Amino acid sequence: MSASVAVKSPVRISIAYQNWHRFSRNPTAVIGAAIVAVVVLAAVLAPWIAPHPDHVGAIVNFRARHQAPSAQYWFGTDNVGRDIFSRVLFGYRISLLLAAVVLGFAVPVGATLGLLAGYFGGWTEIVIMRLTDVALAIPPLVMALAVTAVLTPNLLHAMFAIAALWWTWHTRLIFSITRTLRHQEFVEAARTLGASRFHILFRELLPNCASAILVKVSLDFGFVILIGAALSYLGLGVQPPTPDLGTMVASGADFLPDRWWESLLPGAAILFVALGFNLLGDGLRDLYDVESVR
């Protein structure tokens, strides 16, 4: 008689829980997620948690000009006496809004184009990918400079300019994934079962790209915020008196190095949020083991 081996029945653990467990083991990823959470919360709750919400508008408070960070003004005040901390919180709103809008446009457009090019191949692929190549050749900042300057510098035009080029990265990403996947058997199986092309594209192939998209979106949030900040630093994004982190760095730069807080603290705020998204994206990438993302 052969000896029977006792087998324990495996415990069912959901994928989500497994992912969460692995993610939380990664210290930098958790830090990134925490930073993002803090910034998003701060931005959303800004009108209520800012110490001096009225300093956001076009007010002047000359008596409190150029004050160093203190208990009353956590980040100090700027050259017309406005509380920098409150303005930073509101500045986060603008930055996050910019990134959300840009990516909200770029990701669907880019992913769709990438899917189409990757799945259909042939002329579709050639046309789409060549167009992508052309768009990639233009530095986003240069393009944004040109567009916002020729139109008029404001937030909307800045978003438009960045979005007009940003979809290209997602197209490339989705294209390379789809191109590998389209030959796999589950696609063929779906086709044999009579699935429509729409179904194959969006219900079979796209979910497989989901983790890569998620990683890229996290990283992109940081990069778009950086570009937006650079644009407003140059005076071509959000216009004063609306508080914006880049503009604050620029106007504070005149007073370096004595009144360092006016320029460097908003700058640090930009770094903070970019760091958060970067670490989060890295952590997600390690989690999903995605290699093809930048």
Partner 1 sequence: MPDSAWFAAKWDVQLEFLYFLIRRVFWSLLVLFGLSIVIFVIARVMPGDPARMAMGPRASQEQVADLKAKMGLDKPFLAQYGQFAVGLLHGDLGLSFLTKRPVNHDIAETFAATFELVLATILVAFIVGVPLGVVAAANKDGWVDNLVRFFAILGAVTPSFLLALLLQVLAGYVLHALPTTGRVSPDSPFTADITGLLTVDTLLRGNPGGFWDALRHLLLPTLALSAATIGQIARITRSSMIDVSTQDYIEAGRAFGVPDRVRMFKYMLRPAFVPPMTIMGLEFASLLGNAFVVELVFSWPGMASYGVRSILQKDLNAVMGVVMISGVFFVVVNLMIDVLVGFIDPRVRIRGARA
Partner 2 sequence: MSREPLLSVRGLSVDFSTYGRRSQVLRDVSLDVPAHRHVALVGESGCGKSVTMRTIMGILPTPPARIVSGQILFDGRDLLAMRPREREALRGTSMSMVFQDPMTSLNPVFTIGDQMATILKYADRRLGRARDRRGRMARIFEVLGHVRMPDPERIARSYPIMLSGGMRQRVLIAMALLSEPRLLIADEPGTALDVTTQAQILKLLKDLVEDRGLALLMITHNLGVVREAADYVYVMYAGSVVEHAPTADLFARPSHPYTRALIDCVPKLSGDTTFRGIDGSLPDYTAPPAGCRFSPRCILATALCDRPPADRPVSEGHLAACWHLEEAVQ
Would residue 285 be called left, alpha or beta, if left means φ above 0 and alpha means ψ between -120 and 50 degrees?
Answer: alpha
Q: How far is the CB of 180 from partner 1 (least distance, A)?
A: 12
Q: State the residues that interact with partner 1 by CB under 8 A.
A: 130-131, 133-143, 145-147, 149-151, 222, 226-227, 229-230, 233-234, 236, 246, 249-250, 253, 256-257, 260, 263-264, 267, 270-271, 274-275, 278-279, 282, 291, 294
Q: How far is the CB of 9 from partner 2 (least distance, A)?
A: 17
Cβ-contact 47, 240 below 8 angstroms: no
Which H/E stretch holds residue 110? helix 84-120
Tell me, what amino acid is at 194?
A: G
Give me the residue label for tokens 């079962």.
193
Q: Which does 256 bind (CB under 5 to 8 A by kind): partner 1, partner 2, none?
A: partner 1
Q: Which does 222 bind (CB under 5 to 8 A by kind): partner 1, partner 2, none?
A: partner 1
DSSP 8-class letter at 77: B
Q: What is the CA radius of gyration of the chain?
A: 24
Helices (H) and strands (E) counted in the chain, each on its own, are 12, 0
Closest CA relative to residue 246, chosen from 146, 151, 174, 144: 144
Alpha carbons 149 and 172: distance in angstroms, whole number: 28
Q: State the residues that interact with partner 2 by CB under 8 A.
A: 1-3, 5
Residue with smaller CB distance to partner 1, 140 or 243:
140
Residue with smaller CB distance to partner 2, 18 or 152:
18
Q: Which does 100 bind (CB under 5 to 8 A by kind): partner 1, partner 2, none?
A: none
Q: How far is the CB of 291 from partner 2 (least distance, A)?
A: 18
Q: Which does 2 bind (CB under 5 to 8 A by kind): partner 2, partner 1, none?
A: partner 2
Closest CA relative to residue 81, chosen from 60, 107, 102: 60
Q: How far is the CB of 285 from partner 1 (least distance, A)?
A: 11
Give the 3-state secondary structure of residue 73. coil
Residue with smaller CB distance to partner 1, 108 or 139:
139
Cβ-contact 140, 227 below 8 angstroms: yes
Q: Which does 3 bind (CB under 5 to 8 A by kind): partner 1, partner 2, none?
A: partner 2
Q: How far is the CB of 197 from partner 2 (least distance, A)?
A: 34
